[in-house]
Amino acid sequence: MVKGQDLAVSLEEFGLSRYEAQAYVTLITKGTISAAELAYYSNLPRTKVYPTLLKLEKKKIAIISKTKPIMCTAISPEDAFDEIVQEQINKVNGMNILVTTLKQVSEDSKKARGSEEKRYFHLTPNYVFKQLETMIDGSKTSIHAIVDSWGLNLLSQCKESLINAIRKNIDIKIVIPPNLIGSETFRAIPDGIKIKCADISQNSIMFDDSEILMINSNNGKGAIFLSTEVLGTNQAKTFEQTWKNAMKANNLLDMTKIDAQETLKIIQAINENGLGFVLNSVLHSRNKEIDMLEFLEKNGVDLEAKTIDEIIALVDSTLQITCSGQARYEPQGNHIIIESKLNSGHSLPWAMLLEGYLHKKGFKTKMLYSNHHNGEKVHIKVDSKLDSD
């Protein structure tokens, strides 16, 4: 009688004892029966039958005869449990009223304080890595991270989780300091993750614009912030601005650390002072030659020992990083083409760097600059073929 057993268990949730529940289910199944028959069909101990019947009668869900043998009958379920059901409904209604009242008290308290309640969880250093991995696995739309060496090391250890996130088309962006470009942890980050570099010194990782994991690189401790509207919006804006101003770094993945750091050093020097140097040289120098090689040498970068192919490859990488541009040699026309998506003279220092290098190697050149709404282009016509070294 599996169904009867299930019913008996359910009746226990209405406040009936196990014996009472078994007896009632038997009565509604068998109809009017004797106490002895009840004991038999419901598997109740004979000594427990009469006390159980008395309790059922007191609860008004069974009737006992005054004659012998004692006969017992169940009161119909709708009559027997109507009062209990109503009592449960009243309890639920009372709880709903209580919860509503408590919620109002909480909201009034927040308004009185004039601030949102803080919601964060502290993490010990031993638990931070596991939590980071869990949050990556649970992300649904985006992972936006600003990390220093400590944070990048933790992310590099989550390689499998990051690969799975990439497969789910989750938008993953990481901003790191320039000195980490080319490092082992930098190379350990899987392909498919967008990486940029900027002068930052923090560890803040935002998941789905709703949860933020912050890590203290001094002691390894962490904290998870459940993003409120204000916190989430501000953090998202901070990351967006940092990402917009940062330099691309993905195409530095194939370089050695020395070459990557040299490329970044050149970019920094030319971005900060290169265009100014060019304009100042045009205005004040009688010599038409603008020596970008000397300019870079004063900034700690010596390029004269590089081959022509290496110089073109270097300029190509820097243009990709700084302006989604490129540099390439066209053997058929014997000229070098430099393109930039920016049209503010951004490509001129790089063009003059190439031209200055070629002059030092004994080549004569002619430069043609064109500007259009989609960017700018520079053609450097070379008087003789460039040999690949």
Which domains are present in the chain?
2-80 (1.10.10.10), 120-248 (3.30.870.10), 257-382 (no CATH)
CA 249 to chain centre: 20
Q: How far is 54 from 31, CA to CA, in rounded Å?
A: 17
Q: Are 56 and 20 in contact (CB under 8 A)?
A: yes
pLDDT value of residue 93: 82
| pLDDT at residue 136, rounded to an integer | 94
Distance of CA 40 to the CA centre of its chain: 64
Higher model confidence: residue 222 or residue 232? 222
Task: Tell me what pLDDT residue 287 has.
Answer: 53
pLDDT for 264: 82
Per residue in 48-88, pLDDT (tens digit) is 999 999 998 988 889 998 888 889 999 888 887 777 778 77
* Mean pLDDT, rounded, for 93-102: 83
Q: How far apart are CA 369 and CA 271, in angstroms?
A: 19
- The answer on pLDDT for 164 being more than 90 is yes
CA–CA distance, 146 with 204 (Å, rounded to integer) = 5
- pTM of the entire predicted model: 0.56
Average of per-residue pLDDT values in the chain: 83
pLDDT band at 117 (very low <50, low <70, confident <90, very high): very low
Of 202-216, 322-336, 338-352, give the range with the top mean pLDDT.
202-216
Strands 120-123 and 211-215: unpaired
CA dist 245 and 336 (Å) reads 29
Alpha-carbon span 66 to 109, nearest angstrom: 63
- pLDDT mean over 192-215: 89
The residue to which tokens 């040289």 are assigned: 281
What CA–CA distance (Å, rounded) separates 161 from 133? 7
Q: What is the reported pLDDT for 2?
A: 43
Q: Could you tell me the pLDDT band of residue 286, with boundaries at 50, 70 and 90?
A: low
Omega of the bond prior to 190 within 30 degrees of 0, cis? no
**Range among 89-98, 166-175, 222-231 rated most confident:** 166-175
Name which residue leads in pLDDT, 346 or 382. Answer: 382
C-alpha distances out from residue 67 to 24, 36, 101, Å: 20, 14, 55
* 29-47 tens-digit pLDDT: 999 999 889 989 988 998 8
Q: Give me the pLDDT at residue 348, please.
A: 80
Would you say residue 215 has pLDDT above 80? Answer: yes
CB-CB contact of 223 with 214 (8 Å): yes
